[in-house]
Amino acid sequence: MSHRVDEILKGPIKSKTIFPALILHMVASRPDHGYGLMQRIDDLCGGLIAVNTNKIYPLLRRLEERGFLAAAWDHPTKRSRRIYRITPEGEVRLERIKTAMEPYLESMVEAVADLKRELYGSGPS
């Protein structure tokens, strides 16, 4: 099946969904602070998805306000780093996002494969 790359890259699920999914997924596997999450996302995505403090910290606050994350300061007597953990509600939300996002991600994979085939032929990868 052929996909239009512009339809995929401008599709309905963008960073507004990818970032919450990544954050919820990452803190489910290991609680972390904002800067640590930024580094983990950058390592995972190799710079493909731009992550910065203007995106990550407001998103962490929103996820906490909605009850998907719980946070506490890592030092009890001074404000240092705020460590985020997923809540049971966050686990449910993550599964919902992942279910909705999987077809979109598959479409992206197929669109990139179509583009590669078009440019380089159908030889070995």
Supply the pLDDT for residue 64. 97
Supply the pLDDT for residue 111. 85
What mean pLDDT is reported for the chain? 84
125 part of a folded domain: no
The boundaries of the domain holding residue 51 are 14-97
- Angle between helix axes 88-120 and 15-29 (nearest 10 degrees) is 120
pTM of the model as a whole: 0.78
26 part of a folded domain: yes
Q: What percent of the chain has pLDDT over 90?
A: 46
- b/e burial code for range 9-29 (CB count within 10 A of at least 16 → b): eeeebeeeebbbbbbbebbee
66 or 76: which leads in pLDDT: 66
Supply the pLDDT for residue 46. 79
2 part of a folded domain: no
22 part of a folded domain: yes
86, with CB counted inside 10 A (0-12, 13-18, 19+), is buried
46 or 123: which leads in pLDDT: 46
What token pair was written down for 31?
């609680």
Q: What percent of the chain has pLDDT over 70?
A: 85
Helix (H, G, I), strand (E, B) or coil at 86: strand
- Rounded CA Rg of the chain: 17
- Angle between helix axes 53-65 and 15-29 (nearest 10 degrees) is 70
**Number of compact structural domains in the chain:** 1
- b/e burial code for range 62-75 (CB count within 10 A of at least 16 → b): ebbeeebbbbeeee
pLDDT bracket for residue 67 (50, 70, 90): very high
Give the separation between CA 63 and CA 23, rounded to whole angstroms. Answer: 9
